[in-house]
Amino acid sequence: MRGLHVGAGIVQYREDLQTPPAAPGECRVRVVQAGVCATDLALVRGYMGFEGVPGHEFVGRAVDGPLAGRRVVGEINAACGTCVDCRTSRGRHCTARTVLGILGRSGAFAEELVLPTSNLLPVPDGVSDAAATFVEPLAAARHILDQVDVRPGMRALVVGDGRLGLLCGASLQLAGADVHFAGRHPDRVDRLGLPMAWLDAPAPKSFDLVVEASGRPETFELALASVRPLGTLVLKTTTERAAPLDLTPLVVDEITLVGSRCGPFAPALAWLAEGRIPVENLVDARFPLQEGAAALDRAGRRGTLKVLLEVDGS
């Protein structure tokens, strides 16, 4: 099988990778396109001691199972199905889970991947392959609306103007929030064509809701300082380095702290089918699978948003 293998900080294109076996209840998917995200770049640098095939943002075609022949996307957490978390609809937090291209499960930067049948969703005909690769990050961004009561007119700040940050801002704007950004690229705010604003220096304690989406520990202090008393701080990204942070304001200002990770795919797919967010405007480059090392290098350059891998050359 063709694909990208990561180990010891080295990215290799190989044609001798083992096709992942499918267990009972799982389906094989032939990958069409895959998106490169910040987590993939961190894995290349050694995050979590990763070795194997990365990639978890994808669209493909189901090879077998009830969706055989159809375009599909797949939720990335593969739960055990039997533990207390799984039995109470919290499978994304199953302690025995594997995670596509991240933890114990070969990922999407290869010709084929395997996921539980229950993880797969069909892609509506009106959603392009490129747009479908955004379902995973859009679902994660939109998940904030499941966790926080976002009301029309609420002042919101997104710290970080990368791929995920922009999708978080767009999700909040569609919920009626007055969205502002703090980051390093003011020109990006207009990429999605939604009314969102840029701030060079957010005023302290001036936002009802702040989303930290930069993945950089040094921005946590800015995010926390921007929340008004009785406001909410959402931590949307993980970091490779520990972030020393004075948590006193959480107590003094009675700030609600929310951790936010993956979200359900169905609402994100619906948004894409309705054309709510023009996610393809975030694509900066496309590479064939055999040029995967160059694709990852391009994705890691400052100023680059989304890079796509064209996996199925047909």
- Using CA atoms in the order 222, 184, 165, 274, what is the torsion angle rounded to 10 degrees? 140
CATH 3.90.180.10 holds for 3-136+263-310: yes
Over residues 84-111, the pLDDT tens digits come to 999 988 888 999 999 999 999 999 999 9
Residues 6 or more apart whose Cβ sits within 8 Å of residue 188: 161, 166, 181, 305
pTM of the model: 0.94
pLDDT value at position 22? 96
In this structure, what DSSP letter does residue 110 have? B
Range ranked top by mean pLDDT from 42-51, 90-99, 210-219, 262-271: 262-271
Q: What six digits make up the tokens of 47?
A: 């995050």
pLDDT value at position 8? 87
**Can you give the residue ranges of every domain in the chain?**
3-136+263-310, 144-259
Distance from C-alpha of 100 to C-alpha of 107, rounded to nearest angstrom = 5
CATH 3.40.50.300 holds for 144-259: no
Over residues 124-163, the pLDDT tens digits come to 999 999 999 999 999 999 999 999 999 999 999 999 999 9
Over residues 4-18, the pLDDT tens digits come to 999 988 999 999 999
pLDDT value at position 313? 64
Can you tell me the mean pLDDT for 153-180? 96
Q: What six digits make up the tokens of 139?
A: 């679902």
pLDDT at 201 over 90: no
Residue 239: band (very low, low, confident or very high) from pLDDT cuts 50, 70, 90: confident
Over residues 273-305, the pLDDT tens digits come to 999 999 999 999 999 999 999 999 999 998 899
Residues 6 or more apart whose Cβ sits within 8 Å of residue 116: 25, 26, 27, 78, 79
| Residue 291, amino acid | E
Q: For residues 67-89, b (16+ Cβ closer than 10 Å) or e, as one string?
A: beeebbbbbbbbbeeebebbeee
Share of the chain above pLDDT 70, in %: 99
